[in-house]
Amino acid sequence: MKKEIICTVCPRGCHIQVEGEGDKILSVEGQGCKRGLEYASAEFAHPVRILTTLVKLDGQNDLLPVRSNKPVPKEKLFDCMEVIRAATVKAPVNRYDVVVANICGTGVDIVATKAIEG
């Protein structure tokens, strides 16, 4: 399988062609540096994303901005969003409070990125 991956490590945004089978990388071309080689190889074998979104605040019209404390496997993003959509948080909330622990069994916590007074 061949995949084009746009490197997001620096603003140059190299278009890197990765060829492989499953987790096995056969060739990588188009990277401008070694960091891109590492990024594209990891992205090909096991793509992950930092998840940022909003959670409902219990009894308020406001929403609480949250993010994952570590990258989430890309294939789990939809399931994680479903869990977050169903969640509510009661104020007060401090920055970095855990809103959802170990979301979808990923070992990743969803944490508040803003403090909300009660």
Based on CB atoms, which residue is closest to ligand SF4, 35 or 70? 35
User: Within 10 Å of residue 91's Cβ, how many Cβ atoms?
Assistant: 14
Residue 31 interacts with ligand SF4 (CB under 6 A)?
A: yes
Residue number, 13 or 65, with CB nearest to ligand SF4: 13
Closest CA to 81 of 58, 110, 46: 110
Query: Does 14 help bind ligand SF4 (rule: CB under 6 A)?
Result: yes
Of 2, 3, 13, 101, the residue at the interface with ligand SF4 (CB under 6 A) is 13
Contact 51, 77 (CB under 8 A): yes
Choice from 18, 28, 36, 110 touching ligand SF4 (CB under 6 A) = 36
CB of 34 to ligand SF4, least distance (A): 8
Q: Taking the CB of residue 116, how many other CB atoms lie within 10 A of it? A: 19
Phi-psi region of 115 (alpha: psi -120 to 50; beta: other; left: phi over 0): beta
Kindly give the pairing relationship between strand 48-49 and strand 72-73: antiparallel
Task: Kindly state whether residue 33 participates in binding ligand SF4, applying the rule CB under 6 A.
Answer: yes
Binding site for ligand SF4 (CB under 6 A): 7, 9-10, 12-14, 31-33, 35-36
